[in-house]
A and B are shown apart, each in its own frame.
Chain A
C-alpha cells in the first residue's frame, strides 16, 4: 500500500512502538537513518538500527526478530522485489518502506496489510502503477469447483446434453479470456518494469517529514544535503535531477537555514548553497591533481596518452592559469585569486553545478559533495569489515564536518587525503590502462571491459567506485574515437578473495549508452532488467543478485562467457 501522508500514516504510527530500522549501506540511507534517529530521540522512541549489505543480511536480521511485534522501517532496501515473498517478514509486524529505487514492485503496492510504501504525493501519479485488476488475478478456484460439481450432476440427468455443451463452451471462453488477460498482464508488467531508476533522495523526504513535525534544523538539512549530493556523486541521478531536487525540494530549507546575510560567529553552523566546481576534492588538494583525475579534463586532454601532459599544460595556458597556481595547495591560495580560478574553470567546464557548503565559525569550509564522496567510500566497502563498523565510521565523517573540535577535523583529512584521493588516482589509472591497452571489446550489442587485474578489496565492492569508473571509462572510450556513444558498457572486475568471498568470483555492472536521452531527470536504465533476464532459466549458472541494485551482480568467473552470450541476445532484441 502506498501512503503519502508521512506524518499521520508513518511517523505517528511508528513512534508508538519499538522501531527496527534496517538500512542499506550507502550514504543516502545513512543520512536518512541519521535524520530519523534524531526525530525518534526527540520523542524518546526506542529504536534499533541494523545496517545490511544485501538481501542475505537483510533476511538474517529479520529472521532473528521473527516472534516480536515491532514496526520495521526498510531504508533503501528491497522495494523493487516482492517483500513478503522473498523475505522472512515477522507475521505481526508492519513494514514501512522508505526507498528511492523505482519502479516499486506491484505486489508491494497492492499488499494492504503489512506493507506501507512512503511516496511523495506529487510523485505518485508519475509512477505509472498498473491497475490492480490488470495484474493480479482474482481468486476463481471456488467458482470452477462449483462448475465441476454441476457438471457431474448434469451428466446423471441425461437430458442435460445441451447444458453440457453450454458449459464446455463457457469454459473454453473463460480459458481464452484468461489467456488473453495473462498476455495482457505480461505486457503491462513488461512495460512497467522495463526501466530501473532512482527517485528523490530519501534523506530529503525525511527532512520534509521533520519540517512537518517542526523539527527541521540546520543539522538535519546538512544530512539531507549530503543525501542528495551522494545520489549525484554515486551517479544514480544526472546533474539535472540533482539540480531539480535542490531547487524545488530543498528551496524552503535553503531560505530558512542559509540566509544571505547571516551573522558570522565562532560556533555558529552556517550552510550556504551556491555555485561550485564539479571537481572532486579540489579544495583539499592542488588544482593540477584534481583536474588530472577529473572526467572532464582527462577526456579533453586525453592525459593517459603520451601527449597527455603536454595537452594538459596547453589547456592551462589557454585558460590563463599558471602552473604555480595549480601545483599549490588550493587552500593556501589567496581568496581573490581563488575566486578568479573558480570562475575560469567554471566557464571552461560549463556544467552548472551548485552545491551545499558548511561553514563552522571561522574555520574551514567543507563541501557536501566531497563529504558524500568520502563517506561513500568508507561505508560501502570492504565487505569483510562489519557493516556496523563502516556505518559508524561514515557517520563520523558526516558529523565531523559540522562539529568544531580539531580532532574531528583529523577524520576528514584522513578520509580525503588518505583514502579518496588514492581512489581517484586509481580510477584514472585504470581508465588509462584500459584505453591504452584496448581492453574494451565491442560485442555487437554492447561494449565489454573484462578486467583480469585484481583490485584492492577496499574499492572493488563499492558501488560508488564501480559506477564512477564505468561512467568515466565510457566517456573516455567514446571521446577517443567517433561513433562510440551508441552502445551500453558492461564492466567486470575480479573480486579479491576473503572470508566471505570465495575465490574466482567477479562483480559485473553496466551502464546505458552515452547518447541515451534520459527523461524526467533520471538515469533510467534497462541494464538491471537485462541482467535479470539473462540469469533467468539458467539454473547451472552461479551468480548472485545480493546487492539491492540489480545492475550490480556477482558471478563465477567460469560462467561469464555464457552469461554474456545470453545478455547479447537480450540486448539485441530490446534494441538500444
Chain B
C-alpha cells in the first residue's frame, strides 16, 4: 500500500470492528472471548486487502465499511460462537437491537445537537471558569448527600424530625458516618467492587439531590421553636400529641409553625380574654410588643376550616369589621359560621363561588356569625384588685361588649342560635370599642 494514511485508517476501522465483535462475546468471559478473537484484526485486515485488487485509493474509499464486507458485528460474533460450538448470547442481551438501538441513536443525535446548540456559550473561557467553580463545590455536595441519607434513615427508623444537627447521640453518629462515607465514595475510596454498585450510587445520589431541597426547607421551618415543641411532644407521647392536634385543628396545613398562634405545639384558633375579676371580656384587640396585630387566623389561612372544642362540625372564622369597613382579625373572641354554610362543607349551600375572590368566606345573607363557647364562665383565677392594674378591666366588665363585633348584623340579636354558656351577662349594641382604636 502506497499511502500509510489509508492503511492506518483501515487498521483503526478494523480495531473498531473487532472491538464490537468482542463486545458481543463479553458474556463468555475474557479468556474464551480472547481465545476466540485472537488474531481477528490480522485476519480482517488481510481479508479486506485481499478483496481490494486496486491499490491504495480504493482502500481509502470503498472498503472501509467493514459492516458491508463482514456483516454486522453482532451477527459476526454469533456466527463465530455458533461455529465454535459455544452457547449463543444470553437471551436478555438479544432483544437490544431494533428499538433500543434506535433510542440510543436518537439519544446520541439529540445530545450532539444539544451540545452544538450551546457550543457558542460552552466554548467561552467564562463557561470553563464557571464549570471549574461548580466542580470545586463537589465536596460540599458530598457532605449534603451524606446528610440527606442520614436524615432519611433517621426519619424512617426513629421518631426524629428533620433537623440540621440531631439531638440524639446515635443520630449524630449516623450523620457523621454517612457524611464520611459519602465523601470517601466521592473520592473513589471505600467503593465495593460489585458491578451494580456504581449504578445504585448514581440513582441514590440523584434521589438525594431531589430530596435535599424539600429537606432543607423542612429544616428552615424546624428552626422555629414551634416545631421543636412538636418534636418534644413526640417524646411526651405521640398519641397525646396526635389527639390534641385532632381536637384543635382540622387543617394545620403545610404552613404549620409559620403563621398563627401556638400553645404547647398546638395551633390556637380563638382567644378568650378575662378581666382581673375573672369575667369574660369581648372585642379585645390584641397586639404584640411591636404593635403588630396578633392573628390566630393567618392572612393565608382565612379560608381554612376548624373544629372547636365542645361544638360539632367545622367552622369558618369571621373577622371583626372596623368602622371603615376593613377587617380586623386581632379582635377576640372571633365569631364563626358553620363551614358548610359558606360552601366549605359537604354540600355547597353558601356563596362559595362568589366568595372565592374575597378575603375570607362570607356567609350568605341571613346567616349570622356565632360566638363560640367560652372555655370558662369565669376565669379560674382572679387577679388581686389593684387600682393600677384592674381599673380599666373593671370598667369593661361592667359593660361586656357582647354582639358588638363590628358587624352591622349584630343589631339583630342572634341569641337564638348563638352557642355559648347561657347565664353570662349579655347586653347588646356596644360597638364603639373598635372605632376608638382605628389608629393603625
Check if A and B associate: no
